[in-house]
Chains A and B, each alone.
Chain A
Amino acid sequence: MMMLKLAFRNILRNRRRTLLTVLSMAGGYLLVSVQLSVTEGSYDQVLDFYTRDTTGHVQVTVDGFVETPTLYKAFSLTDDLQQAIDALPGVQATAPRIESSALGYGDTRSFPVSVRGVDPEREAALSYLADKVSAGRYLSSEPDDQGYAGVMIGAQVARQLALDVGDELILVSQGADGSLANDLYRVQGIVGQPGDVEERWVVMPLAAAQSFFVLPGEVHRLVILGADYRSAPRLAERIGEMLPGQELTASSWQTVAREFHETMTADKEGGMITLYVIVFLVCIGVLNTVLMSVLERTGEFGVLKAIGTSPARLFWLIVLETLLLAVIACLLGGLIALPINLWFTLQGIALAEPMEISGIVFSHYRGQMSAYVFGFPMLVILIAAALIALMPAFRAARIVPVDAMRTL
């Protein structure tokens, strides 16, 4: 208690210097916290969007399909399995998918397309597919009155084959049994714009895809949306334990979209470098003031030692003083960061030009309010303060009382 009192009064001695030190550390805290908030908020937005849009959080597939997808690595999806996964806590939606390729024919031309078989209702509840219809209607499970299954086509497919809503599309491919697959479909809708990832897609109801590729009751992926993309690895583990047989595996989106995940992580780490530079600059300033305050008090430390203060205690006194400054700075910084981060979270900064990804518009940089955004800068500042204090504290601890007191 006495040491805390001593430390506290010591930092109040030179108020102007203390204020400057606290302000510079608080400024460092503020910059780190706000940048983290905006970075985390933006990545959060992107990752949340990406996983919903593309991979889901977890996928059940045949072993190896994620790495090298082929038509033949399909599995039969039982109602039992799907219901069991649907019933897991935190699972928001599940949707089966079939993925393969085919050659599409319009009136006069042909064009290679990527075929997606989806359950229209389940897919609409999981991904943004239903939001991306740019013309016509979203997919329906029922064939039209002439018995044709309806499909949605990507913008590039529509252009290359000169197709529009209501036209007929012929697909030719190979079935899983080796037979020649070909069938006629009615274009019901156009999905996305030219340039979107969906531009070469032909999306059809799951049952139509199963019969086209001769995969009765089978699917390539069961896509699962959990509570949060961050907890995907844990969810994948849970689901993995429920899977029957050896050949099925549950992979989190980090595995499914490995490259994307690695790019994002590297990008984020690159952003952290700026933060460390800020902290480093703040540290140099603070180190200077701490050193100065220790040097000024050399004589006094000599007296403290002369009357029986141990070197270790003197060491801790300096560390304590610096940590006290850091704690005050973090509290101050946190107090200022709070409304700023809140504003970024609720309001955000408008992008100069709204970014559109597959028909979904990102218009704002958003912040994030989380324990991480406030706690991490605090940890960094406290650790930095402790490191800064080491050298001056060591100096003070090693003082020889007679020499030190001569400076009085």
Chain B
Amino acid sequence: MSSVIETRDVSKHYGEGDTLVKALDRVSLGIAPGEFTAIVGPSGSGKSTLLQLMGGLDNPTHGQVHLANKDITQMSGRELSDFRRDHIGFIFQAYNLIPVLTAAENCEYIMLLQGVPEAERRERVYAMLERVGLAGREGRFPHQLSGGQQQRVAVARAMVSRPNIILADEPTANLDSQTGSDLLDMMHDLNRNEGMTFVFSTHDPMIMERASRLIRLKDGCIDSESEREA
């Protein structure tokens, strides 16, 4: 099966000389459509770095990242931002909603950049917010929402622009376990019912339980890999 995203021999080094840190060291990895993948490993093992490189947020020191047969490491700043806009959905540990935009506007923003017509934007935003259980809270600003609710908005924001893949960096780390578990159920649902591809980085056993594929990182290298029937 062809991959949504593929890393080929990707390395990322920080610093140089004595202070050189090989955050990632020759990682090759393909993510197939519909996967619900968890990248696990101790703190500092390179999980965030891997997600950032896959999402075009940073350039690797060596290697290539391919999406739809295009090498994104060769793209200019403008091409990369368009690439992220159209193909990648991000969910961050700290939610990272735009504080001056309401829940609905946060979701609408990317579609606006994509040039989706207003009527369609509204329809998709309202449907999506309802889907993540935030019907009736569309007009709230992030500071008027709980952490769990903010992360739901972040999921909705990542989903609503219909990316090829959603990259989530420790999405449940800031949430209590019940809230985290609810959020995960919701994402799992989206994965099964809508076929959305998810890649998580996590320490959270709940994510590992639900993941269809588990990739263990250690010191910037893939340590082991296991697949499981969902």
Q: Which residues of A contact B109 (CB under 8 A)?
A: 2, 307
Q: Can you list 29 A-B contacts (CB < 8 A)?
A: A2-B109, A2-B112, A5-B105, A6-B101, A9-B101, A13-B100, A299-B96, A300-B98, A303-B92, A303-B96, A303-B98, A306-B55, A306-B84, A307-B85, A307-B90, A307-B109, A307-B110, A308-B85, A308-B86, A308-B113, A308-B161, A309-B81, A310-B82, A310-B113, A311-B81, A401-B57, A401-B58, A402-B58, A405-B92
Q: How far is the CA of A378 from the CA of B44 in the complex (A)?
A: 54
Q: How far is the CA of A400 from the CA of B80 in the complex (A)?
A: 11
Q: Which residues of B contact A313 (CB under 8 A)?
A: 113
Cβ-defined contact, A400 with B78, below 8 A:
no
Q: Which residues of B contact A306 (CB under 8 A)?
A: 55, 57, 84, 90, 96
Distance to closest chain B CB from A314 (angstroms): 9
Q: Which residues of A contact B101 (CB under 8 A)?
A: 6, 9
Q: Which residues of A contact B105 (CB under 8 A)?
A: 2, 5
Cβ-defined contact, B99 with A300, below 8 A:
yes
Cβ-defined contact, A402 with B52, below 8 A:
yes
Q: Assess whether B157 is interfacial by the CB under 8 Å rule.
A: yes
Cβ-defined contact, A308 with B108, below 8 A:
no
Cβ-defined contact, B98 with A400, below 8 A:
no
Return the chain B residue nearest A311 by Cβ.
B77
Cβ-defined contact, A6 with B100, below 8 A:
yes
Q: Assess whether A383 is interfacial by the CB under 8 Å rule.
A: no
Cβ-defined contact, B84 with A307, below 8 A:
yes
Q: How far is the CA of A308 from the CA of B86 in the complex (A)?
A: 8
**Chain B residues numbered 58-103 whose CB sits less than 8 Å from any CB in chain A:** 58, 77-78, 81-82, 84-86, 90, 92, 94, 96, 98-101
Cβ-defined contact, B81 with A400, below 8 A:
no
Distance to closest chain A CB from B72 (angstroms): 13
Q: How far is the CA of A306 from the CA of B84 in the complex (A)?
A: 7
Cβ-defined contact, A307 with B58, below 8 A:
no
Closest 10 CB pairs of A and B: A308-B85, A9-B100, A303-B96, A402-B58, A310-B81, A401-B57, A308-B84, A402-B57, A2-B112, A402-B52
**Residue of A10, A306, A308, A400 most packed against chain B (CB within 10 A):** A308
Q: Assess whether A220 is interfacial by the CB under 8 Å rule.
A: no
Return the chain B residue nearest A304 by Cβ.
B98
Return the chain A residue nearest B87 by Cβ.
A308
Return the chain B residue nearest A307 by Cβ.
B110
Q: Which residues of A contact B108 (CB under 8 A)?
A: 2
Return the chain A residue nearest B169 by Cβ.
A405
Q: How far is the CA of A309 from the CA of B96 in the complex (A)?
A: 14
Q: How far is the CA of A2 from the CA of B113 in the complex (A)?
A: 10
Interface flags, A37-72, vs B, CB<8A=1, else 0: 000000000000000000000000000000000000
Q: Which residues of B contact A2 (CB under 8 A)?
A: 105, 108-109, 112
- Count how many chain B residues have C-beta atoms less than 8 Å from C-beta atoms of the other chain: 28
Distance to closest chain B CB from A313 (angstroms): 7
Q: Which residues of B contact A12 (CB under 8 A)?
A: 100
Q: Assess whether A355 is interfacial by the CB under 8 Å rule.
A: no
Q: How far is the CA of A308 from the CA of B85 in the complex (A)?
A: 4
Q: Assess whether A305 is interfacial by the CB under 8 Å rule.
A: yes
Return the chain A residue nearest B108 by Cβ.
A2
Interface flags, B3-15, vs A, CB<8A=1, else 0: 0000000000000
Q: Assess whether A284 is interfacial by the CB under 8 Å rule.
A: no
Interface flags, A7-46, vs B, CB<8A=1, else 0: 0011011000000000000000000000000000000000
Cβ-defined contact, B78 with A309, below 8 A:
no
Q: How far is the CA of A13 from the CA of B114 in the complex (A)?
A: 27
Distance to closest chain B CB from A297 (angstroms): 9
Q: Which residues of B contact A303 (CB under 8 A)?
A: 92, 96, 98
Q: Assess whether A242 is interfacial by the CB under 8 Å rule.
A: no
Q: Assess whether A84 is interfacial by the CB under 8 Å rule.
A: no
Cβ-defined contact, A308 with B82, below 8 A:
yes
Q: Which residues of A contact B86 (CB under 8 A)?
A: 308
> A6-B101, A308-B82 provided; 7 other pairs, C-beta below 8 A?
A2-B108, A2-B109, A303-B96, A306-B96, A307-B90, A308-B161, A401-B57
Q: Which residues of A contact B55 (CB under 8 A)?
A: 306
Cβ-defined contact, B98 with A308, below 8 A:
no
Distance to closest chain A CB from B104 (angstroms): 11
Q: How far is the CA of A305 from the CA of B78 in the complex (A)?
A: 10
Q: Which residues of B contact A307 (CB under 8 A)?
A: 84-85, 90, 109-110, 157
Distance to closest chain A CB from B109 (angstroms): 7
Q: Which residues of B contact A5 (CB under 8 A)?
A: 105
Q: Assess whether A264 is interfacial by the CB under 8 Å rule.
A: no
Q: How far is the CA of A5 from the CA of B100 in the complex (A)?
A: 9
**Chain A residues numbered 288-320 whose CB sits less than 8 Å from any CB in chain B:** 299-300, 303-313
Q: Assess whether A408 is interfacial by the CB under 8 Å rule.
A: yes
Distance to closest chain A CB from B98 (angstroms): 7
Q: Which residues of A contact B58 (CB under 8 A)?
A: 400-402
Q: Which residues of B contact A299 (CB under 8 A)?
A: 96
**Residue of B86, B96, B108 most packed against chain A (CB within 10 A):** B96
Q: How far is the CA of A310 from the CA of B99 in the complex (A)?
A: 19
Q: Which residues of B contact A309 (CB under 8 A)?
A: 81, 85, 113
Interface flags, A375-408, vs B, CB<8A=1, else 0: 0000000000000000000000000111001001
Return the chain A residue nearest B78 by Cβ.
A310
Distance to closest chain A CB from B222 (angstroms): 21
